[in-house]
Structures are given as structure tokens and as C-alpha cells.
Amino acid sequence: MEEGALLDTATTWVEQARHVAVLTGAGISAESGVPTFREAQTGYWAQFRPEDMATEEGFRAHPRRVWDWYQHRRGLLAASQPNAGHVALAQFQQRHPGRITLITQNVDGLHQRAGSTGVLCLHGDIFADRWLDTPRNCCHIDHAVAGHPPYCDRCGNLLRPGVVWFGEPLPYATLEAAQQAARVCDLMLVVGTAGAVYPAAGLARIARDAGARVVIVNPQPTELDAVAHEALRGTAAQVLPALLSEAH
Ligand code: APR
């Protein structure tokens, strides 16, 4: 089926859906100038080893290297703006309160800056810090001594980014809410994710098995294509405004 017909079908599915669940990944922020992870050449994992930069072991081995990389990313994100894809989702939620659940693997806060609320952030928030070890009475995050990373001057506990690293559990209540949304939705949009990381990627299969239609928005094939009823081969900033607008 040619692209225009696919988009028309998907738009009809949006109109018919009582509840839409949306799973987003790094690709939705690509048009805001934020690098993805697995894209060849430009992806972060083409430049760094995830085990060095996105695991607790990697942080403990080289806390300064990891902390500085997250500080670099925070600076890039502070200078980035939400794009038309983020905005289309936020505006859909404003027009149809309660009809959409937005689940993201992204830690960049761009959905929230576009106006989306109740975002289920499966992998945490890059702008939040937390203690590396269970905090003792002496550890006060607002008294942490500045450093790379900041630390507790009483016991040496280090601050770390409040994101979920490989091998770490996702926030239980957030994952539960996301899996519940996948079970009850009539339509799941899977936007800008390679579908390579679980349990996030498993949400598409949960939705499909529960009877929802599954539509992928991604310029490239993904590991979830086989789970989808349709794959719209375009970018988030191009496809989402057309897919979610009231024009149809
Ligand atoms: N619009 C839509 N999709 C896009 C765009 C775009 N403009 N640009 C790139 N993409 C797609 C790519 O084709 C790719 O399929 O976005 C996807 C990005 O995939 P990844 O880089 O693997 O990012 P993601 O799937 O979010 O990674 C999941 O892995 O490293 C961990 O915790 C990290 O949350 C991340 C998780």
C-alpha cells in the first residue's frame, strides 16, 4: 500500500481509538538536534561503549568520564527545543484529555517541555541527580560538594544521573502503568525507537496481543516491524502532525 493510503488508514485508526498509547524513543528527539543511540555514525553507541557510559559499573570505574558526558548531554538538551512531533502529541492530549497515554524511553524532558503531562518516563530523567550508594544522614543533595561528580563531603557518596542504566530495574509503578496502558489501548503508536531494549520494547507486543492496532512511525525498519499492523516510513516531525491533526 502506498504511503498516503497507509497514513489515511492510520489516521482513521486514531479517530476510531477510544484510547491511544504512544511509546517514543530517541528518534522523536532527533529533529530537535538530539543524537540517537543506535544510528550508525551519529548514534551515541557509535562513539561510546554503552557498558562504559550507561552502567553502574562503568560509572564506578570512571565517575568523572560518565558524569561529564551526562553534563554535556544536559547542556545540549538545555539548548534544544521540542519539535513538531513532540508538539503534535501534546496538542492531541490537550484536545482529547484522558484519551492518550504517553510512554517514553527518553530522559530528555522534551515531551514535558512541549506541554505533555502525565508522561511515563521508563528510563528516568537526565536532569535529576540521585546518590550512587544508599544515602546516609550526612548525604544532603543540596549540600553536595561541587565536583565531577558532586559528592558528600562527610562520607564520599557520589551523585549520579537519575536515569535507568543497563542492568538496572525500571521504576516499578511507571512500568506497571505503561504495561496497563498497553493492555487497554485500542491503538499503540511506536515512534522513533529501534525496539531493541526491553522491557520498553515489549509494550508493543502486549498491545498487539491485547487486540490493539500497532502503528510504527520510523524512517527505518525496526525490530518491532513484525509486531506492527502498519509502518509509516517518515520522521516524527513530519508524520505525527498529519496523523494526529483534526484535519482528517
Ligand atoms: N523520526 C522518527 N524516528 C527516527 C528519526 C526521526 N526523525 N530519526 C531516527 N529515528 C529512529 C531510528 O531509525 C531508530 O530506529 O529512531 C530510532 C532510534 O533508535 P535508538 O537510537 O536505539 O533509540 P531508542 O530505541 O530510544 O533506544 C532505547 O536504549 O540506549 C538505551 O536507554 C537508552 O532509552 C534508550 C534505549
- Residue identifier of the C-alpha nearest atom 23 of ligand 1: 26
- Mean pLDDT, residues 77-97 taken together: 97
> What CATH number should be reported for the domain whose range is 3-33+82-123+170-243?
3.40.50.1220
Write down the pLDDT at residue 141: 87
Residue 1: the pLDDT is: 65
**Of 22, 24, 31, 39, best ligand 1 pocket probe by most atoms within 8 Å of the beta carbon:** 39
Specify whether 123 is catalytic: yes
Whether the per-residue pLDDT at 247 is higher than 70: the answer is: no
pLDDT tens readout for residues 22-55: 999 999 999 999 999 999 889 999 999 999 999 9
Point out the ligand 1 atom lying closest to the alpha carbon of residue 200. 28
Measure 25 CA to ligand 1 centroid, in angstroms.
5
Domain spans of the chain, in order of start: 3-33+82-123+170-243, 43-78+129-163
- For residue 192, how far is its CA from the centre of ligand 1 (angstroms)? 5
CA of 110 to the centre of ligand 1 (A): 14
Farthest CA pair distance, the chain: 65
Q: What is the pLDDT of residues 162-196, one digit of tens each?
A: 999 999 999 999 999 999 999 999 999 999 999 99
Q: Which listed residue (72, 96, 123, 143) is catalytic?
A: 123
Asked whether residue 62 carries a pLDDT value surpassing 90, the answer given is yes
Average pLDDT, whole number, for the chain? 96
Q: What pLDDT is attached to residue 3?
A: 79
Grade residue 248 by pLDDT with cuts at 50, 70 and 90: very low
Does the C-beta of 59 come closer than 6 Å to ligand 1?
Answer: no
Give mean pLDDT, residues 15-26.
98
Question: In this prediction, what percent of the chain has a pLDDT beyond 70?
Answer: 99
CATH code linked to domain 43-78+129-163: 3.30.1600.10
User: Atom 26, ligand 1: which residue's CA is nearest?
Assistant: 25
Q: Is residue 246 very low, low, confident or very high in pLDDT (cuts 50, 70, 90)?
A: confident
196 lines ligand 1 (CB under 6 A): yes
Q: How far is the CA of 104 from the centre of ligand 1 (A)?
A: 11
Q: pLDDT tens-digit profile of 109-154?
A: 999 999 999 999 999 999 999 999 999 999 998 889 999 999 999 9
**Is pLDDT above 50 for 218?**
yes
